[in-house]
Structure 1
Amino acid sequence: MYNIGIDVGGTSIKAGLVEDGIITVKASKDVDKSMGFYGVVRDIEYVVNEILREKGMTIEEVRTIGIGIPGVVNKDGHVSCVNLGLKNDPLEMKLKEIFSNVKIVVENDANVAAFAEYKYGSMRGYDVGVMITLGTGVGGGIIINGKPFSGAHGIGSELGHIILDSNYYDCNCGNNGCFETFCSATAIIKYAQKLIGEGKKSTILQFAQNNIENITAKMVFDAYKENDEVAISVVKRFKEYLIRGIVSIVHFIDPEIISIGGGVSNANEIILDGLEEELNKRVIYNGNGIAKIVIAHFKNDAGILGASAL
């Protein structure tokens, strides 16, 4: 029997057949947002059938189809996701109708990525772990006693919306001061643009071919390595709020390990530099030990691997 993991994103759906923690067959499809809920269901059905066709197998040989989705999943498998136009839609129930003899599990995508790290990667061997994904936004996944935790109403892992401080722009969720408005790639870009727009000179703009709209987080980190003053200011601010977010998580959950993933984590040397030392200064009762900070093992495949193991 095989397991299939599906990673539903805002622009594409990726799926994989997983055997002993290894993805042996992959399929993907662009998301058709115009169809809403039924479009997502149709696209999931499509990638599953593509995998079956590629492998030359039938659905009867599949034990589990796990789906990670960028939104809130309640205990009944109903899903809400602004980016996909889903609002309390019965995704799990609908997929069970289509794949009637297969176990269907739907979970938040950040929890799914955390579960991949728990099963096969950086958090393996730890009972209580937290994954922070630093990408376009900030996501969070919590593993407690070997199981993803999302709370009573499915929003217990929304770490990106911990409110840390007031900020000069609002979060997409409508609040001000969310973790992701300080520590996401978007936040890094926005702050670099703000400083350059105020007249500060920077090699970041040269990297962006003198178009402020072309700035990426990678450009900021590359400029930081060249001691660019704007980049230093941006990274210093990013790391300060990353520390604040991690300290809040440690005080609330007290995990054994915190794994940092997402595209921003590619700048791991900069991120980890001095991070644990600063954490030790700010966490209370640190004489009892505090969470180990690591960089996640998996990048693009985390969603597929974690979903397949649900």
Structure 2
Amino acid sequence: MSKKLIGIDLGGTTTKMAFLDENGEVLDKWRILTDISDEGSHIMPNVIASIRKHIEDAGRTPDDFIGIGMGTPGAVDRNNGSVSEAFNLNWRTSQPIRQEIQDELGLPFAVDNDANVAALGEYWKGAGSAEEDVVFVTLGTGVGGGVIANGKLLHGVNGGAGEVGHIAVQPDGYQCTCGKRGCLETYASATGVVRLAADMAQSFHGTSRLAELEQTDEKITSKLVFYLADNGDILANQVVDRVCFYLGLALSSIGNTLNPASIIIGGGVSSAGNTLLQPTTKYFQDNAFPSIRNSTKLRLAELGNDAGVIGAASMALQFR
């Protein structure tokens, strides 16, 4: 019987895990709550205990697995297998997660940034599976990305390759958590869409349900903005158009620099589908070099919430 892979997608609220075969097919998947209390000291023990239980429940032993891969927020030291500055996990100091996993489960372990790992998932089994050069952009609470060139994930000199959320799209624009102004993340993330909607509502004159809601205490979400745009709301459509302009502009810069076969858009905001993709593609083509415009395609991600565990598991293939 062929050996299996284990993928872990560590998030600030939930941790997703899965067993996969060597072809990337998910055999079993589950999730647990991420307990970030006590400086995140319970996170890895809970993950280890959950994996151990699922191995036992499946009637297997650790010897039935090739290894484990994990995607995580924060600054990842791939050589040491450690993570630091993962503030949404309450990890402020370096965490020796490889050592913990290997000591407890006896399996080789690989770790990388969560956006890079999602890129690997879409490259292996998703929207980029037919290509060797792809860029993955994830639009969630923030904006992240991963770059795959000639079939290899790029990390850069200091691990910063793929930080597409910090491409500047608006000089002197919104303040970003990174310290800069006008980053793509401040406009095209879920929180950026909401912020842009609130600002544009202040100068909007006309009839708009979104404008009315901005005057109440009702919680505005990016999903609501795109829903209202789909249903003809004038202000919502203006907000979506502005978001797509900034996104298309940033993606054209990526395309002009790397000329990948595909730029794949994932994350929660991408659930807007063609409402997001079509205008973004227009602005991408408006700003891309002609040969790039005709060769690099924008696509929506295909794996949804499974991208992280699939990409994480793919890293364990190196231990075959």
CA distance in 2, matches of 1:68, 1:165: 30
CA distance in 2, matches of 1:273, 1:204: 22
Show the counterpart of 2:311. 306
Show the counterpart of 1:91. 97
Whether the aligned pair in 2 keeps the contact of 1:280 and 1:290 (CA below 8 Å) is: no
Q: Deviations over 1:47-67 (max 9, x none)?
A: 312321331211221111110
Q: How many residues align?
A: 308
CA distance in 1, matches of 2:288, 2:200: 31
Deviation at 1:40, TM superposition (A): 2.4
| 1:164 paired to 2:145 | no
Q: Deviations over 1:89-141 (max 9, x none)?
A: 322233222233x1201011111111111111110121111011111211101
Q: Deviations over 1:220-253 (max 9, x none)?
A: 1121123222112211110110011101211222
Show the counterpart of 1:280. 285
Deviation at 1:209, TM superposition (A): 10
Q: Structure 2 matches for 1:226-237, cutoff 5 A?
A: 226-237=231-242
Deviation at 1:275, TM superposition (A): 3.8
Show the counterpart of 2:7. 5
Whether the aligned pair in 2 keeps the contact of 1:265 and 1:271 (CA below 8 Å) is: yes
Deviation at 1:12, TM superposition (A): 1.2
State the TM-score, normalized to the length of structure 1: 0.91
Q: Deviations over 1:256-305 (max 9, x none)?
A: 11111111111121122244444333222527843111111111111111
Whether the aligned pair in 2 keeps the contact of 1:26 and 1:51 (CA below 8 Å) is: no
**Closer/same/farther in 2, CA of residues 88 and 213 from structure 1, 3 Å limit:** farther
SS in 2 for 1:270: helix
Whether the aligned pair in 2 keeps the contact of 1:75 and 1:153 (CA below 8 Å) is: no
Whether the aligned pair in 1 keeps the contact of 2:134 and 2:149 (CA below 8 Å) is: yes
CA distance in 2, matches of 1:54, 1:211: 50
CA distance in 2, matches of 1:167, 1:34: 37
Whether the aligned pair in 2 keeps the contact of 1:92 and 1:104 (CA below 8 Å) is: yes
SS in 1 for 2:42: helix
Whether the aligned pair in 2 keeps the contact of 1:122 and 1:294 (CA below 8 Å) is: yes
Whether the aligned pair in 2 keeps the contact of 1:25 and 1:54 (CA below 8 Å) is: no
Taking only the aligned residue pairs, the percentage that are identical comes to: 33
2:229 to 203, 224, 229: 224
CA distance in 1, matches of 2:283, 2:196: 23
SS in 1 for 2:305: coil
CA distance in 1, matches of 2:201, 2:232: 16
**Closer/same/farther in 2, CA of residues 214 and 167 from structure 1, 3 Å limit:** farther
1:59 to 53, 62, 65: 62
State the TM-score, normalized to the length of structure 2: 0.88
Deviation at 1:197, TM superposition (A): 4.9
**Closer/same/farther in 2, CA of residues 251 and 212 from structure 1, 3 Å limit:** farther
SS in 2 for 1:29: strand
**Closer/same/farther in 2, CA of residues 202 and 189 from structure 1, 3 Å limit:** same
Which runs of no fewer than 5 residues in structure 2 stay unpaired?
316-320
CA distance in 2, matches of 1:178, 1:52: 43
**Closer/same/farther in 2, CA of residues 2 and 153 from structure 1, 3 Å limit:** same
| 1:146 paired to 2:155 | no
1:250 to 233, 251, 255: 255
**Closer/same/farther in 2, CA of residues 151 and 205 from structure 1, 3 Å limit:** same
Q: Deviations over 1:185-239 (max 9, x none)?
A: 1111112123335575521366x69744411112111211232221122111101
* Structure 1 residue ranges, 4+ long, deviating more than 6 angstroms after superposition: none
CA distance in 1, matches of 2:214, 2:200: 17
**Closer/same/farther in 2, CA of residues 145 and 40 from structure 1, 3 Å limit:** farther
SS in 2 for 1:164: coil
Larger CA deviation: 246-255 vs 278-287: 278-287
CA distance in 2, matches of 1:193, 1:288: 33
CA distance in 2, matches of 1:212, 1:171: 25
| 1:30 paired to 2:36 | no
CA distance in 2, matches of 1:4, 1:247: 36
Deviation at 1:167, TM superposition (A): 5.5
CA distance in 2, matches of 1:279, 1:9: 31
SS in 2 for 1:232: helix
